[in-house]
Amino acid sequence: MPDERPGVVTVTRRVAARVKSRGPKEVLGLATERVRELVLSHDKLIIHERDAGGDAISSPDDLLFKRADASDGPTYARDIGTDSARSFRSRLTGGTECFLVIKHGLVVHATWATSSSAWMRELQRYFCPPPGDVYVYESFTRPEVRGRGVYPLALRFIAKWAGERDVKRLWVGVEHDNPPSLKAVQKAGFAPAFEVSFDRRLGRLTVHPPVGSRAGDCAACLSETPCSGKKLPPKG
């Protein structure tokens, strides 16, 4: 099942969870930034790719990497805050997965991945990875562990996990003005594949055609409608 565009009820639950987890100040700041973007902005997403697979990975003793299940909903809502426990559970269907990094019982990082499709708020499109591939998205690292390489570590774990399930390639999108995330995905073995520029003016969005050496390999990746993909095998 695709990770579809959230409806009004889901958005309300997510906002409430975010306020509870991160406080009203952050949510208000995010809302202000979103309004500013809608009025006038020019941005660009850089889509990166890498082959799935990889060697065994060692991580710090105080960090645990795991594939999430429905029972992680309350902890995710408490520590990450971008979903309520209920909306978190509803997203774990079909080919959509969430991966967590846990430190002493606290979820310090979360990343989503799908073999189906996922809603991209910036482009108002779905990203539909090619058959046999996986799209990685919606990553968040808590401030107290930033700078410790947690995000690239999580990406390498996901690549290894995906390779064990016959996934061919991973894709991830990063905004061009986010140097820490650009550095993190490249540290995890991803390389730029193509770019998608988009403009907003008085609420109107214009998405420009993808450009770059691998744009042709993902010609149908950006879609206005969700698509279904192969369900990933369960954890071994």
96-118 residue pLDDT tens: 999 999 999 999 999 999 999 99
| CATH architecture assigned to 8-223 | 3-Layer(aba) Sandwich (3.40)
- Which contiguous run of DSSP H or E holds residue 73? helix 73-79
Mean pLDDT of the chain: 89
Q: Angle at CA 14, nearest 5°, toward 107 and 115?
A: 70
Q: Average of pLDDT values for 86-90?
A: 92
Q: What is the pTM of this model?
A: 0.90
Integer Cα distance of 117 and 66 in angstroms: 22
State how far the Cα of 82 lies from the Cα of 138, in Å rounded to an integer: 9
Given this model, what pLDDT does residue 1 score? 60
pLDDT at 236 over 50: no
**Is there a contact between 137 and 112 (Cβ–Cβ < 8 Å)?**
yes
Better pLDDT: 14 or 143: 143
What pLDDT does 234 receive? 58
